């Protein structure tokens, strides 16, 4: 059996890395079953991949488009590939070829994984540097943009005037239930304070 494994770390991936692109390449390579999931490369727990690892048998092949689809870092990738090879599973990395359990094969894998990790580390470093620069600018706010007060106030009125349920009001103005609950609580406390 030839399995394909496709992974993205976010819903939006650059051309060539999207789930659709990976799936197309794996199908073209002859994969009979393709397992897809969205998890960052830093996440240890990947349910679908773990399930595939349980099912895969000696003589089977697992294919990925690139080596970094497999692992968080060079040491994890090396250990995983060795685990598969020890189990008698063939590993096919489409942009490299079939990885065999020879000294040269292991060296190539380790070098490529180290470069993949280095590339990830550079991306993280550049992101952090960009944020550090942005923090020096006026008006910088990290995280999600704030919810306009008018939208929150409208939802609070709908709930307090008993025109809508919390769920309906939150959906109507496009805010979360927790945000609305906090806003209603704050409004009730404010009204109570004005009475006293």
DSSP code for 61? E
Question: To the nearest 5 percent, what fractions of the chain are helix, strand and coil?
Answer: 55, 10, 35
Instruction: Tell me which H or E stretch contains 181.
Output: helix 177-195
- Token pair belonging to 161: 């005037």
* Residue 102 is a catalytic residue: no
Cβ neighbours, 10 Å, residue 128: 10
Catalytic-labelled residue, pool 9, 18, 75, 178? 9
CA–CA separation, 120 and 68 (whole Å): 9
Q: How far apart are alpha carbons 152 and 100 in whole angstroms? A: 59
Q: Which residues are catalytic?
A: 9
């Amino acid at each position: 059996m030839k399995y394909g494994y496709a992974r993205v770390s976010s819903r939006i991936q650059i051309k060539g890395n999207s789930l659709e692109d990976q799936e197309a390449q794996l199908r073209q390579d002859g994969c009979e079953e393709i397992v897809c999931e969205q998890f960052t490369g830093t996440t240890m727990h990947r349910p679908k991949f773990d399930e595939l690892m349980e099912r895969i048998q000696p003589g089977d092949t697992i294919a990925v488009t690139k080596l970094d689809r497999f692992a968080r870092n060079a040491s994890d990738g090396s250990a995983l590939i060795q685990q598969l090879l020890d189990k008698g599973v063939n590993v096919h990395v489409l942009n490299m070829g079939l990885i065999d359990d020879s000294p040269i094969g292991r060296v190539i894998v380790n070098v490529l994984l180290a470069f993949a990790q280095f590339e990830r580390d550079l991306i993280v470093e550049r992101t952090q540097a960009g944020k550090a620069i942005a923090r020096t600018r006026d008006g910088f706010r990290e995280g999600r943009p704030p919810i306009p007060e008018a939208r929150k106030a409208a939802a609070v009125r709908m709930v307090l005037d008993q025109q809508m349920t919390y769920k309906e009001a939150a959906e109507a103005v496009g805010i979360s239930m927790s945000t609305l609950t906090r806003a209603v609580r704050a409004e009730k406390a404010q009204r109570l304070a004005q009475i006293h």
